[in-house]
Amino acid sequence: MAAESAGQTGYEPGMDARSARVARLLEPPLLIASALTIPAVAITESHPGGALETVAQALNWAIWLAFLVELVVMLAVVPQRLTWLKRHPLDLVIVLLTPPLLPPGLQGLRVLRLLRLLRLLRLAQLSRQMFSLRGLQYAALLVALTAVAGGALFVGFEKQNQDLNAWDGIYWAITTMTTVGSDIYPTTTGGEIVAVAVVLVGISFIAMLTGAIAQRFLADERAPD
């Protein structure tokens, strides 16, 4: 009955118009939170100490809270909670198994924080919207966040070997994403990891922008006179 109802309404089983709208609003920030799992885990496990480790811990809390808020909000708005949970077990698993604070005997479960990355698989479901204006807006937001966060992380890793400030980090991130390059380069393993992540985001955005432009021209050519 639930599947038949979903087919008739066009919504996922257990959801209605209101909950589907809320889910769409929550999707972009959750995707960004999932992507931020990589730098958060990398910094935490490298134990750099000082302000950088404090930032990583705060980021870990923020990511987990984002998933918790989504779970609570969705359970509050969906008309069939059990059906929704059966369709989204990962959301519950992430909240229960990846809290920032774990008892000493369960510290080995910290690796489960990587489960948050599985949320990025939903990008495949958004592939049709990737080259749309809205998709490019979300991608541009991710690029801007990457430039600021990546620059800050780079400065944090490189501060012992290079005299860099916050603007130097952002400048380095932008030139790295656009593959222009600069006279600033990583000298630590952490800096190299950040550089790889930043350049991948930059290349991906350029590819998306190129694809969107190409799609627009193709659509104009296919349009009837």
What's the pLDDT at 202?
83
Query: Is the pLDDT confidence value at 28 over 70?
Result: yes
Highest-pLDDT range among 10-14, 62-66, 134-138, 177-181: 62-66
Query: Is the pLDDT confidence value at 107 over 70?
Result: no
Query: Is the pLDDT confidence value at 203 over 50?
Result: yes
Specify whether the CB–CB gap between 193 and 42 falls below 8 A. Answer: yes
Nearest-CA neighbor of 79 among 159, 6, 182? 6
What's the pLDDT at 76?
93
What's the pLDDT at 1?
44
Q: Mean of the pLDDT values across residues 113-142? A: 66
| More confident site: 45 or 156 | 156
Confidence of residue 124 (pLDDT cuts 50, 70, 90): low
Q: How far apart are the C-alpha atoms of 93 and 37, rounded to whole Å?
A: 16
Specify whether the CB–CB gap between 55 and 42 falls below 8 A. Answer: no
Query: Is the pLDDT confidence value at 24 over 70?
Result: yes
| More confident site: 62 or 197 | 62
What's the pLDDT at 185?
83
137 phi/psi in degrees, rounded to 5: -65, -45
| More confident site: 104 or 38 | 38
Q: What is the pLDDT of residues 36-73, one digit of tens each?
A: 877 777 677 666 677 777 887 888 899 999 999 999 99
Give 79-144 as a 3 state SS string.
CCHHHHHHHCHHHHHHHHHCCCCCCHHHHHHHHHHHHHHHHHHHHHHHHHHCCCHHHHHHHHHHHH
| More confident site: 148 or 109 | 148
* The model's pTM: 0.56
Tokens of 83: 């059906």
CA 35, 37, 38, 43 torsion-angle sign = positive
Share of the chain above pLDDT 90, in %: 10
